[in-house]
Amino acid sequence: MIENLKVFVSVAESCNFSVTARKLDVAVSSITRRIDSLERELGTRLFIRGPRRLVLTDSGEYFAQTAQQVIAELAEARETLASRDGEPHGKLTVTAPGAFGRRHLAPAIRSFLEKYPHIEIDLFIGDALIDLSVQRIDVAIRMGKLEGADLVATTLAPLRRLACAAPSYLERFGRPSTPEELLHHQCLTLTTTPLPVGWWCFLGINQDQPLPIKGRFRSDDTDILLENAIAGHGIVHLASWMVGDPIEKGELILLFPDLPTPPEFSANINAVRLPGRSHQHKAKLFIDHLKSEFGTPPYWDRSSQGDVATKEFVG
């Protein structure tokens, strides 16, 4: 029956017998016989067969989802058994937000591929949120609050936001001693409205709500905001995974090391997968590798929790 299921899923995707026949390199009659056999076995029609096109019936639409899951779970079980008997192998599909993917995920992928030479990875970088129930993704890196009750999430690191400025900016305009003083400084922020949860929020300040900061420059790109901050054009409130390296190099100074984000805005960097739509064994290997590579605390947070972050700036 499994071969009939595979044929059915392929026909359901294209709604065309000929397209599926070419894809599987078989005769059209072979495809129609398999669909006929499946319909007899299930006791229901899966397609309405018109003169020019096929249309899934209500039963067909329902069964297509089940068939896809059965095929995926069977493939996953086979890969898991094969991996237990030898080296993990096959393809893993991963997606991540652009800036984090370039800075931290790509290097971790390189070391993962060295560790597992028979695994291949397709990496998709972008800030659009991909529906894992629609697009086949094995592991997705997600920031902040998670949506989707069916997702299995593994926390990789806390998501911390830090207020920072370049030494050159602080020399010119002075160092704010409290977050409230940010209202009198040039702050570099996003054009997004409303701002993401937790931006410009500090525990015990402004009733834990975002400060109404102002600035002459805004952008929808956090990398551009970071570059402008390093160049001395203003103060940023960016994730520690973005500013950890510039802090360590002395390009940025952490302003309020003892003021965390309010608990209600706390969030994490997570690796998520959708059971039945991910290669479970390889996905777990990859997620465990990320946790090991990032460390606890993650390496990008160590500079903002140690001597580099708390040193006094003399303006």
Domain ranges of the chain: 2-83, 87-158+267-297, 161-265+302-310
As a whole number of angstroms, the distance between CA 179 and CA 188 comes to 14
CA separation, residue 268 to residues 39, 126, 138, 156, 158 (Å): 47, 18, 19, 7, 4
pLDDT value of position 304: 62
pLDDT tens digits along 11-32: 888 888 888 888 888 998 998 9
pLDDT tens digits along 36-46: 999 899 899 99
Confidence band of 278 (pLDDT split at 50, 70, 90):
low
As a whole number of angstroms, the distance between CA 137 and CA 130 comes to 9
pLDDT value of position 241: 96
Strand partners, 42: none
Superfamily of domain 161-265+302-310: Periplasmic binding protein-like II (3.40.190.10)
CATH architecture for the domain at 2-83: Orthogonal Bundle (1.10)
> Is the preceding peptide bond at 88 cis, omega within 30 degrees of 0?
no
Residue labelled with tokens 């926390």: 155
Q: Does domain 87-158+267-297 have CATH number 3.40.190.10?
A: yes
> pTM for the full model?
0.71
